[in-house]
A and B are shown apart, each in its own frame.
Chain A
Amino acid sequence: MLVLEDVHTHYGKIEALHGVSLEVSRGELVSLIGANGAGKTTLLMTVCGSPRASNGRIFLEGREITGDTTANIMRSGMAIVPEGRRVFSGLTVEENLAMGGFFNSKEEIRKSQAHVYELFPRLKEREHQRAGTMSGGEQQMLAIGRALMSKPRILLMDEPSLGLAPLVIKQIFEIIGQLREEGITIFLVEQNAHQALNLADRGYVLETGRIRLHDTGKNLLNNPEVQAAYLGG
């Protein structure tokens, strides 16, 4: 579904990713964990083509997307829940969702919207409210809902639990599990290693721009190295 082959990314002269290779297969939930500054967000954004990889190749459903524009990449069955949520704060919940389904017909938008409201009844209640006035948890739900509007086959998620209350985090992870059941391939980037690995089929550990470990979610959870570094011993 998504394949990275020896991907390097530069910010100016500084190399942030030093040759990352990984693979996410259809229907899988793959987690990428790593400390602050390991390059997790850079990796996701490189997949989206912003910034572009300076070296290496990226394939989405067998098609190479390495040099493609962000707009084109994001129109080919992939969607992202970005770091920091980035909802359009001045737009209403409904308008934010409509932006997510920008290239779909009105009929499709209505259907996807109904589906999102089913997943997050809270969003339905806030339909006409400006996104900027909502709580962090609600904004995160909106960010996920917006990403689902384009009916992606693969969903990239960048730290969806960041800065949220434990109860909301639990809810978000439940939704992620539910999306997997629906057959959406998910590539999840998290600092919340325990939850992320618990849910994942497979996991990767990223350290200073390199893949350090790669195993099934369960094995990584039990790996002493991972436990020491990411699970608080």
Chain B
Amino acid sequence: MQDLLYFSQQLINGLTIGSAYALIAIGYTMVYGIIGMINFAHGEIYMIGAYTALIAITGLATLGIAWLPAVLIVALICAMIVSSAMGWAVERTAYRPVRGRHRLIPLISAIGMSIFLQNYVHLAQGSRNIGFPALVEGGLQFGSGEGFQMSLSYMQITIFITTVICMTALSLFISRSRIGRACRAVSQDLGMANLLGIDTNRIISATFVIGAALAAVAGLLLGMYYGSVDPLFGFIAGLKAFTAAVLGGIGSIPGAMLGGLILGVAESLTSGYLSGEYKDVVSFGLLILILLFKPTGLLGKPEVEKI
């Protein structure tokens, strides 16, 4: 019983962090699906989302607004707007001018953009970490009085619910809406979509914006969960989400969701049963294994050229 509770606790922790990874991973996978490039500035967009949310929360507190749902929704909307604008700007400045060149060139410009954004936040917000108020407090306890107590915090529940809402909305958007259909068409054959009169640049912008908006949601959630942000906040999370996207099959949206959850659970089981220091070893080890044995990822399809 004790063991089961302990295991469940690790599972819950893992699914919490994993669903946030999945939210960030969507941005990598969608952009890759459309232009075949990794957006290395995506982690920074997530970090900026977290900062924006924090600024909004602080601002509302000074105004004396304390009603929790209002604070969360306003912070979320601000973060999504600012991050989306950043995502759009990154595509316009770091990708579009060099699209169609050698693959290394957009890669370098994206890394440059990532360094620029990190340092910009360093300058603007200082390099020390800033406390993020724990707005959602408390939780549920399971287990008998003595021995291991399993806890499920309200913050974790918030993360689950928000992620499920976002993922459902995204899936519906991609599968049902006109623009979502265009996104899928462009990712399969950009040139052909262009020959149908579709302004593919707009569709590409739209994928950057959608990815950035979801990253902003993750930024707010993980900011509150960890309790602090710093300018390097996006670096490791970005790497992890990228790993999740590759694990699930880069280019595949369900793959990114699955990859995020698997990675989160793997990390938290490692922390729970081995040691927290090994969790990065395990997650990047998983990445290496997947690349060795199933390079297309769990749900990715190999690219087949039909003649």
Give A residues with C-beta under 8 Å from B: 48, 50, 69-75, 79-80, 82, 86, 88-91, 95, 98-100, 102-103, 132, 146, 150
A71 close to B306 (CB less than 8 A)? no
Q: Are A71 and B200 closer than 8 Å at their CB atoms? A: yes
For the complex, give the distance between the alpha carbons of A71 and B195 in Å: 6
Alpha-carbon gap, A228 to B200, bound state (A): 44
| Cβ-defined contact, B182 with A99, below 8 A | yes
Instruction: Give every chain A residue within 8 A of B188 (Cβ-Cβ).
Output: 88-91
In the complex, are the beta carbons of B194 and A70 less than 8 A apart?
yes
- Which of A70, A73, A82 has its CB near the most chain B CB atoms (within 10 A)? A70
Contacts A50-B191, A102-B178, A132-B306 given; indicate if A90 touches B184 (C-beta within 8 A): yes
B124 CB, nearest partner CB in chain A, Å: 38
Asked if residues B197 and A103 are in contact (CB atoms below 8 Å), the reply is: yes
When the two chains form their complex, are residues B189 and A71 in contact, meaning their CB atoms are under 8 A apart? no
**Closest CB-CB distance, A29 to chain B, in whole Å?**
21
Among B259-307, those with CB < 8 Å from A are 306
Q: How far is the CA of A5 from the CA of B198 in the complex (A)?
A: 27
A150 touches B194 (CB 8 A): no
Q: From DSSP, what is the main secondary structure of chain B's interface residues?
A: helix
Judged by a CB distance under 8 angstroms, whether B169 is at the interface is: no
Flag if B196 contacts A102 (CB, 8 Å). Answer: yes
**Would you call B181 an interface residue if the criterion is a C-beta within 8 Å of the partner chain's C-beta atoms?**
yes
With beta carbons under 8 angstroms apart, the residue of B178, B189, B195 that contacts A70 is B195
- Give the A-binding residues of B (Cβ under 8 A): 178, 181-182, 184-185, 188-189, 191-200, 306
Asked if residues A88 and B194 are in contact (CB atoms below 8 Å), the reply is: no
**A88-B189, A90-B188 are contacts. A80–B181 as well, Cβ < 8 Å?**
no
Given contacts A90-B188, A132-B306, contact A99 B195 (CB under 8 A): no
Q: Measured between alpha carbons, how far is A69 from B195 in the docked complex, in Å?
A: 10
- Give 9 nearest A-B pairs by CB, closest first: A74-B197, A75-B197, A86-B192, A71-B199, A88-B185, A88-B188, A70-B194, A99-B185, A80-B195
- Looking at the assembled complex, report how far the CB atom of A69 sits from the nearest CB atom of chain B, in whole angstroms: 8
Q: Is B181 touching A150 in the complex (CB atoms < 8 A)?
A: no
B306 A95 Cβ-Cβ under 8 A: no
Contact A99 B194 (CB under 8 A): no
Query: Shortest distance in angstroms between A78's beta carbon and chain B's nearest beta carbon?
Result: 9
Assess whether A99 is in contact with B189, with CB atoms less than 8 Å apart: no
The answer on a CB contact under 8 Å between A71 and B192 is no
Which of A71, A82, A89 meets B198, CB within 8 Å?
Answer: A71
What are 19 pairs between A and B in contact, CB < 8 Å? A48-B195, A70-B195, A71-B194, A71-B199, A74-B195, A74-B196, A79-B196, A82-B192, A86-B192, A88-B185, A88-B188, A89-B306, A91-B184, A91-B185, A91-B188, A95-B181, A99-B181, A99-B196, A132-B306
Residues of B within 8 A of A75 (CB): 197
List the A side residues contacting B193 at CB < 8 Å: 99
CB of B269 to closest CB in A, whole Å: 35
Assembled-state Cα–Cα distance A120/B199 (Å): 29
Check if A102 sits within 8 Å of B184, measured CB to CB: no
Min Cβ gap A154→B in Å is 14
User: B192 contacts A102, CB within 8 Å?
Assistant: no
Question: Which residues of A are found within 8 Å of B191, using beta-carbon distances?
Answer: 50, 86
A150 touches B306 (CB 8 A): no
Q: Once bound together, how far apart are the Cα atoms of A88 and B197, in whole Å?
A: 15
How far apart sit A211 and B134, CA to CA, in the bound complex (Å)? 74
Whether A150 and B196, one on each chain, are in contact in the complex, defined by CB atoms closer than 8 angstroms, is: yes
Q: Bound state CA distance, A132 and B185, in angstroms?
A: 13
Distance (whole angstroms) from the CB of B171 to the closest CB of chain A: 15
Q: Given A86-B192, A89-B306, A71 and B197 touching (CB < 8 A)?
A: yes
User: How far, in angstroms, from A75 to B202 measured CA to CA in the complex?
Assistant: 15
Who on chain A is nearest to B175 by CB? Answer: A95
Task: Give the distance to chain A from B176, nearest Cβ to Cβ, in Å.
Answer: 10
The reply to whether B182 and A102 form a contact with Cβ atoms under 8 Å apart is yes
Task: From known contacts A86-B189, A90-B188, infer whether A102 and B195 are also in contact, taking CB-CB under 8 Å.
Answer: no
A88 & B192 in contact (Cβ 8 Å cutoff): yes
CA distance A23 to B185 in the complex (A): 33
